């Protein structure tokens, strides 16, 4: 392979390697940024749910404490005046239920019986000694808050003792469901959500109304059941959740899980958040699935963009290298070589090598031109001497003839 072919090829290969590596590093940096952004989105969703549950518990405890501290509430509970309590609190309860998804608002007496349900004032007197949160609040005379299951659902609750000085009058319970929070995640985050609770954690219904509600909740759960042994209380996409949620996932979940899984050729972010009640018992989990199709599309678009830029850059680079090397280095060297070949062949009238450049190529060309001029002078001198010798020889021959 000639130098004029070998040199550009070598330079192009080295430059292509450097260019390709640089583009690959830039591509991976962009992809890593997209993946980091997607992971950050999933982590933000997990944080929003955790903060939402914690915030609901704080709001519930604040409202329960404020209600338990009202003088009118203390007086009515001391007098066991159910009508007065209902008159004082039912309007605010109904407003909170409509606006904020409040599910529980009830009073209990020290005998661990329901004294008043604000949602159903005429339903009272049932035993609540199985309710750990109420029992603990009555025993410790301190507010209790956190997640708890009832006969048919799970909610964030707070139970505040109603005290009149040192006298314990009973307790007030305030509870908020998780539906509003999950609906907000579904709408604002464009994600599918599911709420799964272990069947064993539901309390046995103690009233006919409670039994009817529990039976209806179980019927709906069976229709949308995803995992055996766990009641599906909320779901926005049953089929998608069935493709992800397993019994093994729910039973072994100890802390918030964030991972990626491909479903039907599309990447999805999966978030699983364990639900722990106020006493530390595991109840179930909230599972969120968010499509990462947009991030996947951006990664593919990035791949196409960088491949196109790399190919175009290599083509441009090859042309530029060929043009520069041929124009600045190889062509002048070829011209110098041709002049040297001509000098070797004794042709001293060949075209002068371009010596206008002030670099090494110009110095070489200048030296070749000087060599040509010196050889041409030597040739002319030799020819002149040869002519003189021939002329002298001719004269000598003429004088020698008789």
**Reduced to 3 DSSP states, what percent helix, strand and coil does the chain have, rounded to the nearest 5?**
60, 20, 20
With respect to residue 135, please indicate whether it lies within any of the assigned structural domains: yes
Per-residue model confidence (pLDDT) at position 315 = 78
Per-residue model confidence (pLDDT) at position 8 = 64
Per-residue model confidence (pLDDT) at position 214 = 63
CA distance 260 to 258: 7
Residues 273, 297, single domain; the answer is no
Give the tokens for residue 157. Answer: 């609750």
With respect to residue 402, please indicate whether it lies within any of the assigned structural domains: no
- Give the pLDDT confidence of 192-247 residue by residue, as tens digits: 999 999 988 887 665 666 666 666 666 666 667 788 889 998 899 999 999 999 99
Sequence-distant (≥ 6) Cβ neighbours of residue 323 within 8 angstroms: none
Q: Is the pLDDT of residue 14 over 90?
A: no
Residues 81, 156, single domain; the answer is yes
Of 291, 324, 339, the position where a domain reaches its end is 291
Q: What percent of the chain has pLDDT over 90?
A: 45
CA 329 to chain centre: 51
Q: What percent of the chain has pLDDT over 70?
A: 79
Of 128, 148, 177, the position where a domain reaches its end is 177
Sequence-distant (≥ 6) Cβ neighbours of residue 69 within 8 angstroms: none
With respect to residue 329, please indicate whether it lies within any of the assigned structural domains: yes
Per-residue model confidence (pLDDT) at position 378 = 74
> In this structure, how many other beta carbons lie within 10 angstroms of the beta carbon of residue 45?
21
Q: What are phi and psi of 262, to 5 degrees?
A: -95, 125
Mean pLDDT of the chain: 83
Mapping DSSP to helix (H, G, I), strand (E, B) and coil, where does residue 103 land? Answer: strand
Q: Highest-confidence range of 67-81, 206-220, 328-342, by mean pLDDT?
A: 67-81
Per-residue model confidence (pLDDT) at position 192 = 95
Per-residue model confidence (pLDDT) at position 213 = 64
The DSSP annotation for 104-170 comes to EEEEEETTTEEEEESSSTT----B-TT-HHHHHHHHH-S-EEEEEE-SS-EEEEEEEEEEETTEEEE
Residues linked to residue 147 through DSSP beta bridges, in sequence order: 156, 277
With respect to residue 51, please indicate whether it lies within any of the assigned structural domains: no
Per-residue model confidence (pLDDT) at position 135 = 94
Per-residue model confidence (pLDDT) at position 223 = 67
With respect to residue 52, please indicate whether it lies within any of the assigned structural domains: no
- Residue 334's H or E segment, with its range, is helix 331-344
Sequence-distant (≥ 6) Cβ neighbours of residue 189 within 8 angstroms: 41, 45, 48, 288, 290
CATH of the domain at 117: 3.30.450.20
Closest CA to 89 of 71, 105, 69: 105
Residues 318, 270, single domain; the answer is no
In this prediction the pTM is 0.71
326 neighbors 318 (Cβ within 8 angstroms):
no
230 neighbors 247 (Cβ within 8 angstroms):
yes
120 neighbors 82 (Cβ within 8 angstroms):
no
CA distance 244 to 289: 8
72 neighbors 88 (Cβ within 8 angstroms):
yes
Domain count, the chain: 3
């002068």: which residue's tokens?
352
- Mean pLDDT of all residues in 301-325: 73
Residues 261, 330, single domain; the answer is no
Give the tokens for residue 19. Answer: 């260019």
58 neighbors 88 (Cβ within 8 angstroms):
no
- Give the pLDDT confidence of 344-394 residue by residue, as tens digits: 776 766 555 555 666 777 777 777 777 777 777 777 777 777 877 776 777
Residues 302, 383, single domain; the answer is yes
Q: Is the pLDDT of residue 16 over 80?
A: no
CA distance 353 to 368: 7
Per-residue model confidence (pLDDT) at position 58 = 95
Residue 351 CA neighbour count, 13 Å, CB half: 8
Of 154, 177, 200, the position where a domain reaches its end is 177
- Mean pLDDT of all residues in 262-273: 91
Between the alpha carbon of residue 177 and those of residues 58, 148, 317, 337, the distances in Å are: 14, 10, 64, 91
Residues 78, 139, single domain; the answer is yes
Q: Where are the alpha helices (DSSP H) in 166-273?
A: 179-188, 208-223, 238-242, 247-252
Residues 83, 164, single domain; the answer is yes
Which of 37-46, 110-119, 197-206, 254-263 has the weakest average pLDDT? Answer: 197-206
- Mean pLDDT of all residues in 239-263: 92
Residues 105, 164, single domain; the answer is yes
Residues 138, 117, single domain; the answer is yes
77 neighbors 107 (Cβ within 8 angstroms):
yes
33 neighbors 298 (Cβ within 8 angstroms):
no
With respect to residue 399, please indicate whether it lies within any of the assigned structural domains: no
At residue 32 the predicted structure's pLDDT band, cuts being 50, 70 and 90, is confident
Mapping DSSP to helix (H, G, I), strand (E, B) and coil, where does residue 351 land? Answer: coil
Residues 287, 301, single domain; the answer is no
Per-residue model confidence (pLDDT) at position 269 = 92
At residue 172 the predicted structure's pLDDT band, cuts being 50, 70 and 90, is very high
Q: What are phi and psi of 214, to 5 degrees?
A: -65, -40
Per-residue model confidence (pLDDT) at position 31 = 67
Residue 114 CA neighbour count, 13 Å, CB half: 21
Q: Is the pLDDT of residue 298 over 80?
A: no
Range of the domain at 217: 192-291
With respect to residue 124, please indicate whether it lies within any of the assigned structural domains: yes
With respect to residue 56, please indicate whether it lies within any of the assigned structural domains: no
- Give the pLDDT confidence of 83-130 residue by residue, as tens digits: 999 999 999 999 999 988 898 999 999 999 999 999 999 989 988 998
> In this structure, how many other beta carbons lie within 10 angstroms of the beta carbon of residue 335?
17
275 neighbors 154 (Cβ within 8 angstroms):
yes
Per-residue model confidence (pLDDT) at position 17 = 77
Residues 91, 167, single domain; the answer is yes
Give the tokens for residue 370. Answer: 């000087």
Between the alpha carbon of residue 146 and those of residues 56, 133, 189, 276, 319, the distances in Å are: 9, 9, 25, 8, 70
Residues 132, 173, single domain; the answer is yes
């Amino acid at each position: 392979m000639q130098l004029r072919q070998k040199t550009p090829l070598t330079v192009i290969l080295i430059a292509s390697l450097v260019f390709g590596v640089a583009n690959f590093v830039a591509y991976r940096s962009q992809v890593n940024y997209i993946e980091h952004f997607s992971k950050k989105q999933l982590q933000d969703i997990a944080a929003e749910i955790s903060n939402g549950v914690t915030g609901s518990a704080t709001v519930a405890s604040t409202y329960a404490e404020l209600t338990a501290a009202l003088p009118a509430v203390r007086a009515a509970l001391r007098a066991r005046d159910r009508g007065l309590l209902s008159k004082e609190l039912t309007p605010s309860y109904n407003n909170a239920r409509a606006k904020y998804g409040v599910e529980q608002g009830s009073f209990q007496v020290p005998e661990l019986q329901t004294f008043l349900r604000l949602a159903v004032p005429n339903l009272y007197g049932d035993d609540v000694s199985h309710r750990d949160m109420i029992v603990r609040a009555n025993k410790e005379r301190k507010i209790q808050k956190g997640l708890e299951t009832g006969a048919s659902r799970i909610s964030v609750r707070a139970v505040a003792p109603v005290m009149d000085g040192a006298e314990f009058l009973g307790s007030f319970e305030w509870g908020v469901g998780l539906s509003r929070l999950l609906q907000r995640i579904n709408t604002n985050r464009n994600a599918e959500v599911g709420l799964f609770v272990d069947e064993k954690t539901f309390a046995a219904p103690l009233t006919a109304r409670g039994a009817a509600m529990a039976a209806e909740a179980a019927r709906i759960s069976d229709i949308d059941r995803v995992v055996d042994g766990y009641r599906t209380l909320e779901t926005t996409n049953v089929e998608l959740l069935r493709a992800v949620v397993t019994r093994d996932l729910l039973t072994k979940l100890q802390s918030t899980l964030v991972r990626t899984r491909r479903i039907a050729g599309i990447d999805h972010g999966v978030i699983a958040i364990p639900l722990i009640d106020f006493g530390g018992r595991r109840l179930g989990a909230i599972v969120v699935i968010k499509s990462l199709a947009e991030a996947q599309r951006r990664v593919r678009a990035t791949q196409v963009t960088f491949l196109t830029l790399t190919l175009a850059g290599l083509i441009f680079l090859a042309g530029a290298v060929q043009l520069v090397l041929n124009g600045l280095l190889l062509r002048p060297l070829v011209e110098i070589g041709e002049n040297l070949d001509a000098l070797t062949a004794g042709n001293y009238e060949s075209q002068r090598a371009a010596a206008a450049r002030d670099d090494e190529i110009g110095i070489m060309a200048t030296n070749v031109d000087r060599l040509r001029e010196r050889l041409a002078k030597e040739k002319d001198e030799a020819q002149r001497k040869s002519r003189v010798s021939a002329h002298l020889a001719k004269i000598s021959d003429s004088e020698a003839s008789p």
